[in-house]
């Protein structure tokens, strides 16, 4: 009897073990199956990118593959070879492996980007590669303008929030300190207005580079370059046109200026645009960088400042910037690193 009971227990143990295992497997599958999810629950949706996020990702992509490869890639999708890109061609370029493996954008997101660019550049069906690259170079100042619907205007002083502005002091005649100017246009040296030593070094270095023969560009060459970026052909250059002229020209000299941020270029711009109008005549801009040799009163190129904000006699030392009628003490806190020109 004892032997029969033992065999019966072993038989039940053998059959019960695998059955339990199968039951547990079915339970686990049931828990993870879609039918076992809580009714009414929705899968998480991926948040759509904004225009600013798309622009930042595209700029990052260009920094990875290089501007030359980016231009070649975009031109390869210009099927009719008319020099412009339509939305459909741009969308196909975004789906190509060169772009898609580094950057993914859907059609609705790219349409937001296209609409913002169309509003900014006043286009309808197609955009040139130069305008596309210029739009991608927009910084926070231009992104602010797009949001406010003022993309076709020069950056207003009140809107340039990312670049702190300095108030212009006027005399009794409401002219911005013209008595200290050394040129008829009001651009010149102003001993009352001060820049940091690093800002003065940047400004003088830039002016010297513009005038030097190393750039292999004469005054007339610069005039032609600026006229190429004068979109409405009115002889007036806006800030964004100035930036495009500096960054898009394929010379080693100007390419080295790509390390300059929009903040630094805006500081130079404000030194020339003494009235704060956001626009300059081409002749005024050329006169600033190429003043007459006979009447030149600017000091020679400075050595890089060893230390910024040195204290002399308990007070902070400052320097007057040649050609500047604006104070720029808000830049004193920036890193005092020499700019590679």
Q: What letters, b where the CB count within 10 A reaches 16 and e where it falls short, cover 200-233?
A: bbbbbbbbbbbeeeebebeeeebeebbeebbbee
Residue-wise DSSP of 173-230 = TSSSSGGG-SSTTS-S--TTSEE-HHHHHHHHHHHHHHHSGGG---HHHHHHHHHHT-
Task: Name the residue with higher pLDDT: 273 or 141.
Answer: 273
| Pairwise CA distance, residues 278 & 163, whole Å | 13
What is the gyration radius of the CA atoms in the chain, in angstroms?
Answer: 31
pLDDT at site 45: 57
Overall pTM > 0.75: no
Give the residue-averaged pLDDT of 273-285.
72
pLDDT at 13 over 70: no
Give yes or no for a contact between 131 and 121, defined as CB atoms under 8 angstroms apart. yes
Mean pLDDT of 71-89: 87
Q: Which residue has the higher pLDDT, 331 or 125?
A: 125
CA-to-CA distance for 210 and 236, rounded, in angstroms?
19
Average of pLDDT values for 124-134? 83
pLDDT at 111 over 70: yes
**C-alpha to C-alpha distance for 267 and 203, rounded to whole angstroms:** 9
Residue 291 has a pLDDT of 64
> What is the 8-class DSSP label of residue 298?
P
Mean pLDDT of 284-305: 55
| 308 against 94, higher pLDDT | 94
The model's pLDDT over 232-251, given as tens digits with 9 standing for 90+, comes to: 677 777 777 766 666 665 55
Query: What is the per-residue pLDDT for 209?
Result: 60
- Inter-CA distances, 119 with 7, 145, 148, 248, Å: 87, 11, 11, 22
Residue 158: what pLDDT?
A: 40
Domains and CATH numbers, the chain: 51-148 (1.10.238.10), 178-331 (1.10.238.10)
Q: Does residue 284 surpass a pLDDT of 80?
A: no
- DSSP class per residue in 68-99: HHHHHHHHTT-TT-SSEEEHHHHHHHHHSHHH
Read off the pLDDT of residues 150-180 as tens digits, 9 standing for 90 and up. Answer: 444 444 444 344 444 444 343 333 333 333 3
pLDDT tens for each residue of 309-327: 444 444 433 333 333 333 3
Residue closest to 70 by CA, chosen among 246, 226, 248:
248
Q: What is the mean pLDDT of the chain?
A: 61
Mean pLDDT, residues 129-151 taken together:
61
d(CA 263, CA 269): 10
Is pLDDT at 189 greater than 50 in this prediction?
no
Question: pLDDT-based confidence at 63, cuts 50/70/90?
Answer: confident
pLDDT for 36-61, tens place per residue? 555 555 555 567 788 888 888 888 88
Of 120 and 271, more confident? 120
- Is residue 118 scored above 80 in pLDDT? yes
Higher pLDDT pick, 138 / 284: 284
Yes or no: say if 302 and 187 are a contact pair by the CB < 8 Å rule: no
Is the pLDDT reported for residue 23 higher than 60?
A: no
Per-residue pLDDT, 72 = 86
The answer, yes or no, to whether residue 303 has pLDDT greater than 80, is no
- Most confident of the following: 28-42, 105-119, 201-215: 105-119
Which residues lie below 8 Å from residue 162, measured CB to CB, with a gap of 6+? 139, 140, 141, 144, 262, 263
Helix 140-148 / helix 107-121 crossing angle, nearest 10 deg:
90
What's the pLDDT at 18?
Answer: 47
Phi first, then psi: what are they for 280, rounded to 5°? -140, 145
Q: What mean pLDDT comes out for the span 120-148?
A: 69
pLDDT score at 47 = 74
**Token pair listed for 302:** 């400075």
Instruction: Identify which of 149, 125, 123, 148 has the alpha carbon closest to the alpha carbon of residue 134.
Output: 123
Token reading at 212: 């030097």
CB–CB of 156/165 below 8 Å? no
Q: Which band of pLDDT confidence, cut at 50, 70 and 90, is reported for residue 293? A: low
On the 0-12 / 13-18 / 19+ scale of CB atoms within 10 A, 255 is: middle
């Amino acid at each position: 009897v004892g032997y029969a009971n033992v065999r019966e227990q072993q038989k039940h143990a053998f059959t019960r073990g695998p059955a339990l295992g199968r039951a547990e497997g079915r339970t686990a599958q049931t828990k993870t199956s879609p039918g076992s999810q809580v009714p009414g629950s929705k899968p998480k949706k991926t948040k759509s990118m904004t225009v600013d996020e798309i622009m930042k990702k595209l700029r990052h992509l260009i920094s990875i593959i290089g501007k030359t490869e980016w231009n070649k890639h975009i031109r390869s999708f210009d099927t009719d070879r008319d020099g412009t890109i339509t939305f459909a061609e741009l969308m196909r370029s975004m789906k190509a492996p060169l772009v898609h493996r580094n950057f993914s954008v859907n059609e609705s997101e790219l349409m937001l980007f296209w609409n913002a660019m169309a509003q900014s550049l006043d286009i309808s069906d197609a955009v040139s590669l130069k305008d596309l690259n210029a739009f991608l170079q927009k910084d926070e100042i231009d992104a602010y303008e797009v949001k406010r619907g003022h993309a076709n205007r020069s950056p207003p002083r009140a809107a340039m929030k990312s670049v702190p502005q300095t108030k212009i002091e006027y005399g009794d005649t409401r002219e911005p300190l013209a008595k200290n100017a050394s040129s008829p246009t009001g651009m010149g040296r102003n001993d009352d207005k001060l820049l940091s030593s690093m800002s003065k070094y940047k400004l003088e270095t830039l002016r010297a580079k513009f005038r030097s023969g190393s750039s292999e560009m004469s005054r007339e060459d610069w005039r032609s370059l600026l006229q190429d970026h004068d979109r409405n052909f009115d002889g007036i250059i806006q800030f964004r046109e100035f930036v495009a002229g500096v960054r898009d020209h394929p010379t080693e000299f100007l390419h080295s200026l790509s390390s300059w941020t929009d903040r630094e270029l805006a500081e130079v711009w404000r030194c020339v645009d003494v009235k704060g109008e956001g626009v300059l005549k081409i002749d005024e801009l050329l006169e600033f960088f190429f003043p007459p040799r006979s009447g030149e009163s600017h000091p020679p190129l400075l050595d890089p400042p060893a230390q910024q904000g040195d204290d002399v006699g308990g007070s902070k030392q400052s320097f007057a910037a040649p050609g500047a009628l604006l104070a720029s003490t808000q830049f004193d806190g920036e890193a005092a690193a020499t700019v590679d020109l």
